[in-house]
Amino acid sequence: MTSEKNKLGTQVAENLPESWWQKAWKSQRENLQIVIIALSLAIVIRALVAEPRYIPSDSMVPTLHVGDRVVVEKISYYLEPPKTGDIVVFAPPEKLQEQGFTQDQAFIKRIIGLPGQTVAVKKGLVYLNDKPLDEKYIAEPPKYQWGPYRVPENEYFVMGDNRNNSNDSSRWGFLPKQNIIGRAVVRFWPLERIGQV
């Protein structure tokens, strides 16, 4: 008798009309799954592959302007080391954090000196291993003297292209490799300036 009641109860439950939320869930379940997958992929890509960044200061003028947006790729430095001329985004080193910058306030600068190289700034030129660099990308020649100093192992010497208005290695020292987030590769905003950086 009990099993017959259970069967009857099950049949009654199966014959009840679906509520509005059950209908909505059934019709939107696939869309929700797509959204969840897309969000998960976006999070993974941003964390491991590439991410957009906003340029907040004029330290990289004329190459990058305030308000420009760039794509920062994070893969290439797992395959090969940074090179002179690369524009990198990095977390502030310890000396910048002592000045009040937080770990999430990323900086963007150009790599000038690699580990083991000697860097100096004198007479309006940047010297790398006693040879002046030909820098067509800077806003104006540097108006200060610095070095010569040898870049330590696993560290880099970085400068802004706006040499006289840049909080860079000439002020706070060398950039540890582990602070590098990635390499700026493409400017995607503003539209009239889209292109490689």
Catalytic residue among 59, 166, 169, 170: 59
- Report d(CA 196, CA 87) in Å as an integer: 11
- Report d(CA 137, CA 160) in Å as an integer: 10
- Report d(CA 163, CA 123) in Å as an integer: 13
Burial pattern 111-128, b for ≥16 Cβ within 10 A else e, equals bbbbbeeebbbeeeebbb
- Is residue 5 annotated as a catalytic residue, yes or no? no
Catalytic residue among 109, 166, 169, 170: 109
- Is residue 59 annotated as a catalytic residue, yes or no? yes
- Report d(CA 71, CA 52) in Å as an integer: 5
Active site (catalytic) residues: 59, 109
